[in-house]
Amino acid sequence: MARFPRSAIPRLLYTFFSSKTRRFYPSPTAALLLGNFEVRQFSAGNVARAKDAKEPWWKESMERLRNIGISAHIDSGKTTLTERILYYTGRIHEIHEVRGKDGVGAKMDSMDLEREKGITIQSAATYCTWKDYQINIIDTPGHVDFTIEVERALRVLDGAILVLCSVGGVQSQSITVDRQMRRYEVPRLAFINKLDRMGADPWKVLNQARSKLRHHSAAVQVPIGLEENFQGLIDLVQLKAYYFHGSSGEKVVAEEIPADMDVIVAEKRRELIEMVSEVDDKLAEAFLNDDPISSVDLEEAVCRATIARKFVPVFMGSAFKNKGVQPLLDGVLSYLPCPIEVSNYALDQTKNEEKVMLPGTPDGPLVALAFKLEEGRFGQLTYLRVYEGVIRKGDFIVNINTGKKIKVPRLVRMHSDEMEDIQEAHAGQIVAVFGVDCASGDTFTNGSVKYTMTSMSVPEPVMSLAVQPVSKDSGGQFSKALNRFQREDPTFRVGLDAESGQTIISGMGELHLDIYVERIRREYKVDAIVGKPRVNFRETITQHAEFDYLHKKQSGGQGQYGRVCGYVEPLPPGSPIKFEFENMIVGQAVPSNFIPAIEKGFKEAANSGSLIGHPVENIRIVLTDGASHAVDSSELAFKLAAIYAFRQCYSAARPVILEPIMLVELKVPTEFQGTVAGDINKRKGVIVGNDQDGDDSIITANVPLKNMFGYSTMLRSMTQGKGEFTMEYKEHSPVSQDVQMQLVSTHKAGKAE
């Protein structure tokens, strides 16, 4: 039988393409034509090249990949939405609610604490397949205390879904999350959830998104009915009505648009076209020429504008009632970018941190970022986002931040707390590795390049607690727990109070620290005594002051000699740096090798101000003169001279104490507005906004953190349990003179004891 060349076998003769092995398998007919009966495998690369010599093997698989995060204010329905997505994509086979009455709880809330409290504490990663596209999803917490979880998820994602509640609208944490999305330049879709609830008004929420979040947005869907009459959705791009049938809304039925809704659909579609044409030239041209705009043209324009972060398409639905989730998934595929449509930059360490654009292809050298650490049953689990190249099990990779070479012992894909072993992962994927010792934010490469990814922004902790184990025997487990949590969470800090010898834990708020104390008890079986909450005050100076200090000590043998002269002054308001040191000595009055020791001395002295012993910030120190001794001068002598010089001039610079001010947003029934506002004033808060939302009053205030402890209990008793509040750190600002005197005298009394 004559053999045919491979290229002569038409594509139709291949039966299927396996994404696992990345091979095309020929049909029996093709096998016959190829001679001998064994089924030969063609690599996907060969077939692709036969079809188009220019198109690389990975292009199709990259285009069919989406990395998305789901973020929102507390209780907007993020975890419920993720649960539905996993159900419709076949990753889970039954739906469980967040506060599971059946004792199961949502898949993505895998911690016992999360299931009990009904809140998300840690971001959880999973992946699913929808219409042959692979979607990696990270479900993030809504609570401001766990803001780092949102921060690091958005750092590595290509797109996001911002969930808004159709009743609550744009709330304080929605604004924070949106700000984080802007910081990491993440294209996003908005999803207005809970349309089945009483008082649902998606158009009010859309207007709030435009005014409060400054979104250039328009609806791509119109709901059919609202509240208990919510039945389905009309897609303004495809001009189809969708209804969701079946026990869990799994059957999506497309029908013609109801006749009574033609007017609103025409109006909203025109609004959508107008909004997109403002930011997309191609659509604007068709719109201005009055050309007919097809569904395909509109979809492409929305996609271009969304990826360029000039437009936010708004989807609608009710995740709890199983309506609107499948069209949202279609929207993720249609409008959010795949990894090669996003610009990612690395810093080249060999070229003085020069910015390098990563093409994001599997062909290049490996570049991966460790964005989250977790202590698993088998040791440390490190979540990696692969930005370029391929990572394989058994490969050697280099941690650029430490210079260590490490072997990848095990590579897994995560599905909440479950894992699936894989052999390799390429650019664009989110995977986890075991047994790799590193810190959050480290970059890994294959050793051929020295690139680091830009780090994420970590907010400063605002609150501290003193903790100690009840029994002395459990000290080992206690310190093991604290070390682990510190490695996992950059906003959780552990320190030692030099005066009292107590262990101090610091974090983003009461709930944050409570959760960690509870986790120490549950996961390490260590009961801890918790001291009173302490506020992280800061100190700063308000005026220019000069110093001239000579440190001279003779004690037999080599003495110590160092003189420093200069001045301290406050940095301008809003300065991004907290401490600045400048050497303005002309000549060699102080040899240049002692300058770093002087800077170190000033830095050390600024770690604790003389008012209440808290760090001093927003300070600029300028060295103008000094003197040294040929024999007695040393690094230690100059370091001590700097420390004493700082203390000498500090009181002359009129120091003040700064306290953390929180931005508090309260939602209370209007009848309790007066009582709540009066209480805020008592707590030395400044009310900066008061809006009406139906029967509720929304009060925004700036309140000192030290006056907010135990506020949730107080608010409940004032509003018969109907009030709710959220708070987030705003800034450190000076305390009043009487509070400063009180704090200083308390500090002195504590020292005397």
**Per-range mean pLDDT, top range of 96-110, 451-465, 635-649:** 635-649
Collapsing DSSP to helix, strand or coil, 373 comes out as strand
CA–CA separation, 635 vs 292, rounded Å? 78
Consult the annotation and say whether 121 binds a ligand: no
* Tokens describing residue 545: 């002051």
**In 3D, which of 76, 61, 6 has the Cα closest to residue 34?**
6
**In 3D, which of 602, 735, 742, 721 has the Cα closest to residue 661?**
735
**In 3D, which of 698, 699, 690, 702 has the Cα closest to residue 662?**
702
Indicate whether 222 pLDDT > 90. Answer: yes
Consult the annotation and say whether 675 binds a ligand: no
Consult the annotation and say whether 195 binds a ligand: yes
Consult the annotation and say whether 361 binds a ligand: no
Residue 104's pLDDT is what?
53
With helix as H, strand as E and coil as C, how does 383-396 read? EEEEEECEEECCCE
Collapsing DSSP to helix, strand or coil, 501 comes out as coil
With helix as H, strand as E and coil as C, how does 571-632 read? CCCCCCCCEEEEECCCCCCCCHHHHHHHHHHHHHHHCCCCCCCCCECCEEEEEEEEECCCCC
Q: How many CB atoms lie within 10 A of CB 223?
A: 25
Consult the annotation and say whether 215 binds a ligand: no
Collapsing DSSP to helix, strand or coil, 678 comes out as helix
Helix or strand run (H / E) with residue 688 = strand 686-693
pLDDT digits (tens, 9 = 90+) for 635-677: 888 999 999 999 889 888 899 999 888 888 888 888 888 899 9
Consult the annotation and say whether 141 binds a ligand: yes
CA atoms within 13 A on the CB side of 380: 17
pLDDT, the chain, mean: 81
CA–CA separation, 79 vs 121, rounded Å? 11
How far is it between the farthest Cα atoms of the chain?
Answer: 104
Backbone angles phi, psi at 212, to 5 degrees: -85, -35
In the block, residue with structure tokens 């897994």? 412
Kindly give the interhelix angle for 711-718 and 673-682, rounded to the nearest 10 degrees.
150
For the chain, helix, strand, coil in percent to 5 are 30, 30, 35
* Tokens describing residue 405: 């070479």
Consult the annotation and say whether 79 binds a ligand: yes
User: CA-CA-CA-CA torsion for 188, 189, 190, 193, nearest 10 degrees?
Assistant: -130
Indicate whether 25 pLDDT > 50. Answer: no
CA–CA separation, 4 vs 163, rounded Å? 57
Consult the annotation and say whether 194 binds a ligand: yes
Average pLDDT over residues 296-325: 90
Q: How many CB atoms lie within 10 A of CB 323?
A: 25
Average pLDDT over residues 512-528: 86
What contacts 716, CB < 8 A, 6 or more positions away? Answer: 723
Consult the annotation and say whether 139 binds a ligand: yes
Residue 98's pLDDT is what?
59
CA–CA separation, 724 vs 712, rounded Å? 8
pLDDT digits (tens, 9 = 90+) for 697-720: 889 999 998 888 778 778 878 887
- What's at 629, amino acid-wise? H
Consult the annotation and say whether 73 binds a ligand: yes
Consult the annotation and say whether 674 binds a ligand: no
Cβ(496)–Cβ(503) under 8 Å? yes
CA–CA separation, 107 vs 117, rounded Å? 15
pTM over 0.75, yes/no: no
Residue 110's pLDDT is what?
56
User: CA-CA-CA-CA torsion for 115, 118, 123, 124, nearest 10 degrees?
Assistant: 40
Consult the annotation and say whether 19 binds a ligand: no
Cβ(401)–Cβ(452) under 8 Å? yes
What contacts 589, CB < 8 A, 6 or more positions away? Answer: 625, 626, 627, 628
243-250, long-range: CB within 8 Å, 24+ apart, which pairs?
A: 244/322, 244/323, 244/324, 244/326, 248/87, 248/95, 248/322, 249/321, 249/322, 249/323, 249/325, 250/87, 250/88, 250/322
Domains, the chain, with CATH or none:
58-258+314-335 (3.40.50.300), 344-452 (2.40.30.10), 465-531 (3.30.70.870), 538-653 (3.30.230.10), 659-748 (3.30.70.240)
pLDDT digits (tens, 9 = 90+) for 312-365: 999 999 988 888 899 999 999 989 998 888 888 888 888 877 888 888 788 888
Residue 15's pLDDT is what?
40
* Tokens describing residue 177: 């999350």
pLDDT digits (tens, 9 = 90+) for 262-287: 899 999 998 999 999 998 888 888 88
**In 3D, which of 526, 524, 494 has the Cα closest to residue 507?**
494
First to last CA, the chain: 102
* Alpha-helical regions (H) of 246-324: 262-277, 281-288, 295-307
Of 106-110, 117-121, 302-306, the least confident: 106-110
Indicate whether 74 pLDDT > 70. Answer: yes
CA atoms within 13 A on the CB side of 318: 26
Instruction: Give whole-number Cα distances, 445 to 155, 171, 339, 407, 434, in Å.
Output: 18, 40, 18, 12, 16
Consult the annotation and say whether 76 binds a ligand: yes
12-16, long-range: CB within 8 Å, 24+ apart, which pairs?
A: 14/42, 14/47
User: CA-CA-CA-CA torsion for 626, 629, 635, 640, nearest 10 degrees?
Assistant: -60
